[in-house]
Each structure stands twice: as C-alpha cells, then as structure tokens.
Amino acid sequence: MSIPGPESIARHELSNGIVVLVRENHASPAVVVHGYLHVGSRDERPEQAGLSAFTADALTRGTESRPFDQIYETLESVGASIGTNGGTSSTSFGSKSLAEDLPLVLENLADVLRHPTFPPDEVKKLRGEILTDLEERAHDTRAMANRTFYELAYPKAHPYSRSIDGYTETVSGISRDDLVAFYAGGYGPQGLTVAVVGAVETSDALAQIEAAFGDWQGSTYTRAPLPEVPRIADVRTRVVPIPGKTQSDIILGYPGPARTSPDFLEAMVCNSILGIFGLMGRLGEKVREEQGLAYYSYSRVDGGPGPGPWRVIAGVNPANVEQAIDSVRAEVKRICQEPVDAEELSDNKAFITGSLPLLLEANEGVARTILDMERYGLGLDYLQRYDALINAITAEQVQAVAQRWLDPDAYALAIAGP
C-alpha cells in the first residue's frame, strides 16, 4: 500500500487559521472527517471540573436552526454520523458518510460547532446522563484505579490530575449559563485542525471546508504552559474500597514522556517489550501466564501534549494483590537493569513497524494519524520515515529510556477492589 506522505497529503491553511489536511482514497465510497479545537478541560476552573466535556457533549443537542431530533434524523436518513468529545487539551469532532453526502454532513457538523443553543431541557437530560455515568464509574474497579492513579501521579494543580468528566459534586452545580459562557470563551477557529480522508477530490474537500468554516471567528482561551511534573521520588499508594467486587484492579506507573519528547519512540519500543508484544509482553508472560497472578497484565505509554502517563495495568484476584505488585515491580526492575537481547528487540521492532499498515487500513486510522502528525509537528513525511526511526533504536536506548522514566522503587500505585 502507499504510505501517506507529502505527495499525497494536501495541507492548506484558511484565512482564519484553520489547518486542513486532505488525503484522497477512492478505493472506498466513504469519507471521514476528524478534527480538534483548541479547548479542553485545562481551560475550566477546578471547581467546575467536567464543564468542558459537558459542553462538548451538549453541542449536538440543538442549534439555532436545527433541534436535536432533526440533526440526527437528517444524518440517519443517509447513514451518516457526527460526534464531539471533550479532552484535556482539545475537543475532538468527527463525521463519517458517503462522499456524496459530505456537503450535508459538513453543514450539520459546522452548525453544531458554531451555533449550539444548549436547550434547557436537553442540558437537564444530559446532566442526568453524566451523573449516572459517574455513579457507575464509582463502582467500576478499573475506572476508579485509573482515576486514583492520575490524582497520585500528578500535582494537584495540574490539569492531568483532574477528571475530564468531572465529579458528582461539580457536574451537579454546572448550569446552562456555565455551558454558554464556556463555549463563548473558547470555541473558535484558532488552533482548529481538520483532516478529510476518503473518496473526495482535494479541491472539493478544501472548498467544502472553506464554505462550512471559513468565515468563523469565535474565541480561544489564553493558556499558560502546562505545569512541570516532577519525577516521583517515593511510593505513593492509595486503596479505593469497592464492596461486593470479586476482582481488584491495580495501576502502577509514572508521569511519562510527552509525544514531542525526543525519546518517545524509544519509550514506545520499551513499552512494547514490557507489556504489549505477543500476549502482553513480559508482564503477560510472567505475571499472568507463568505465575498465574493476574487475569490480565499489560502496560501503555500515552504521550500527548504534556507528560502523559506510563502505566502498568492489571486485574487480579484480591488475594493476589501484593504478589502481583511484587511481580510487576520485578519486571520493571529487569527492563531498567538488563539490556534487552537482540532477538527480543528485533521481534518488537517488527511488530511495531508491521502494525502500521493495519493502522492505516481504514480512513479513520489515516485521519487520526495525520492529525497527530500535524498536532505534534512530526512532518508530513513522518510515516515514510517511521520504519527507519523504529529500526534505528538500540538496546542501549531502550534501557536508557526505562531508567529515565521508570523506577521499581518509586511510583504511584492505585488499587481498587473489595
């Protein structure tokens, strides 16, 4: 297959600052649109945690010219969909449709992003849905271990320590006026990036995005840089009791590298060895298969605009919690202290580079990938350089990145269970 690159990705900047990326793919009749706005939970006050995600969810609940039902009936009648979702540093949006319906879909997508009205009845219903989700989260061992880990790993004032979805007490106090004010202060074209991938001519896609968004002005919040996150120098542990559960979830980890960190790819290879490759890497082999201490055990390194988490995640029998933690720490220690052998490193590199074509099989994967290339300044030729970048990583670099970010004796540990 042809790997997307500068010759097949068109990049255009509108007069209002919106960046448009287009990749044609006429092998399928569909078109996907993915994008993000420069607004997120880091722009809300801590006492209003959940406001940004609430606002994003409410965008599709009605506009100046279209009620909620009309938006979805129009889209469903042509088999199309649109969606919006709030994150920490950005709010994402997207659509999927047949190429012939792209103008209709963009018209509706632009309407919900530019002219939402936050109907009071819909806001009330949506608040109820969010509160129900938060109540369910409080009884989910994995979700609560994850939420607790962020609170332990990041300073209290850091946006990453807060729940994107908020808390029962904060969401309960968010009013329609709060949504209107947050939208007015932060939704606009500055920093907006959109990718269009599928069976559409580049010139047509650019013209349609221009027609939908080219005259948008709006506003954007002024942000300070993300606060520094110091390396964890001790053991921070918190147990969240959830009565009636038969499983405990463990998350042990650290603030990790940002996506723009020079050693992010080394961290990705290291993480594959630790808890991804095959049946969840060394963690799956030792903690789950050989020792039988976990139902699942894997690791992930997230990256992102700031120091995203590097976590080991395990679901265990409550009786095995301490043994499983000791086993996880032993694997973290091993990858920090012992260079990976040539065969294991080669196998993991082949797995990572071999996964790229699968990631790019669908239009959605291509759109998300080229958005990330733009977001993190990787260059339009990044995918064409990817194999060489991965294959250049050495065992010494893998060990060095483990020693930089991981520590078997200093970590954040969240446990949720009975």
pLDDT in tens, 146-186: 999 999 999 999 999 999 999 999 999 999 999 999 999 99
Average pLDDT, the chain: 97
Residue 3, in any domain of the structure: no
Q: Are 282 and 381 members of one domain?
A: yes
Contact 170, 54 (CB under 8 A): no
Domains identified in the chain, total number: 2
Within 13 Å of residue 354, how many CA atoms lie on the same side as its CB? 7
DSSP assignment letter at 409:
T
Q: Are residues 324 and 177 in the same domain?
A: no
In a domain, 228, yes or no: no
Would you state the structure tokens that stand for residue 27, as one six-digit string?
């092998």
2 confidence band (pLDDT: 50, 70, 90): confident
- pLDDT, mean of residues 14-40: 97
Residue 399, Cβ neighbours under 10 Å: how many?
A: 18
Determine the average pLDDT of the residues in 134-141. Answer: 98
At residue 93, φ and ψ (nearest 5 deg) are -145, 160
Specify whether 209 is located in the same domain as 245. Answer: no
Confidence class of residue 261 from pLDDT cuts 50, 70 and 90? very high
Place of tokens 């807060």: 162
Does position 375 have pLDDT exceeding 60, yes or no?
yes
154's tokens? 């990041």
Residue 353 buriedness (CB in 10 A; 0-12 / 13-18 / 19+): middle
Single-letter code of the amino acid located at 134: L
* pLDDT confidence of residue 252: 98
Q: Looking at the domain assignment, is residue 221 inside a domain?
A: no
Kind of pairing, strands 19-24 and 193-198?
Answer: parallel
Tokens of 93: 């949006």
Q: Is the pLDDT of residue 256 over 60?
A: yes
DSSP assignment, residue 99?
G
Residues of the chain above pLDDT 70, percent: 100
**DSSP class of residue 305?**
S
Are 269 and 198 in the same domain? Answer: no
Q: What is the C-alpha to C-alpha distance for residues 297 and 286, in angstroms, rounded to an integer? A: 9
Q: In whole angstroms, what is the distance from residue 169 CA to residue 93 CA?
A: 27
- Tell which of 213, 244, 275 closes a domain: 213
Boundaries of domain holding 300: 235-417
Sheet holding 30-37: strands in order across?
9-13, 19-24, 193-198, 30-37, 91-98, 81-86
Helices 264-275 and 321-337: crossing angle in degrees, nearest 10, is 130
Question: In which residue are the tokens 């010219």 written?
Answer: 65
Shared domain check, 194 and 300: no
Separation in Å, CA 13 to CA 371, 383, 407: 14, 21, 44
What CATH number is given to the structural domain containing 331?
Answer: 3.30.830.10
For range 370-393, the mean pLDDT: 97
DSSP 214-253: TT--------PPPPP-PPP-SEEEEEEE-TT-S-EEEEEE
Give me the phi and psi of 88, to 5 degrees please: -75, -50
Q: What is the pTM of this model?
A: 0.95
**pLDDT tens, residue by residue, 102-121:** 999 999 999 999 999 999 99
Is residue 381 located within the same domain as residue 251?
A: yes
**Residue 287 confidence (pLDDT) above 90:** yes
Residue 173 lies in a domain: yes
In a domain, 197, yes or no: yes
Is the separation of the CB atoms in 53 and 174 below 8 Å?
no
47-81 tens-digit pLDDT: 999 999 999 999 999 999 999 999 999 999 999 99
* Per-residue pLDDT at 1: 52
2 in helix, strand or coil?
A: coil
Residue 324: CB partners within 8 Å, gap ≥ 6?
A: 250, 287, 293, 294, 297, 314, 316
In a domain, 224, yes or no: no
Q: Which of 159, 181, 213 is the last residue of a domain?
A: 213
- Residue 225 resides in a domain: no
- Residues 203 and 244 grouped into a single domain: no
Q: What is the pLDDT of residue 299?
A: 98
162 three-state secondary structure: coil
276 shares a domain with 177: no
Spatial distance between the Cα atoms of 297 and 248, rounded to a whole number of angstroms: 12
Which helix (H) or strand (E) segment is 86 a member of?
A: strand 81-86
Supply the pLDDT for residue 40. Answer: 98
In a domain, residue 226? The reply is no
Q: Among 196, 193, 209, 210, which residue's Cα sits nearest to residue 25?
A: 196
192 and 263 in one domain?
Answer: no
Position 20 scores a pLDDT of 98
Position 137 pLDDT exceeds 70: yes
The 8-class DSSP code of residue 339 comes to P
As a whole-number percent, the residues of the chain with pLDDT over 90 amount to 98
Q: Are residues 258 and 358 in the same domain?
A: yes
- Given 165, 182, 213, the domain boundary residue is 213
Neighbours of 156 (CB within 10 A): 8
Average confidence (pLDDT) over 385-411: 98
- Residue-wise pLDDT for 176-218, tens only, equals 999 999 999 999 999 999 999 999 999 999 999 999 999 999 9
Place of tokens 């990817």: 386
Co-location of 302 and 205 in the same domain: no
Residue 281: how many other CB atoms lie within 10 Å: 23
Nearby residues of 209 by Cβ (< 8 Å), 6 or more positions away:
14, 18, 20, 106, 194, 196
- 246-260 average pLDDT score: 97
Which residues are paired to 98 by β-bridges?
Answer: 30
Same domain, 258 and 179: no
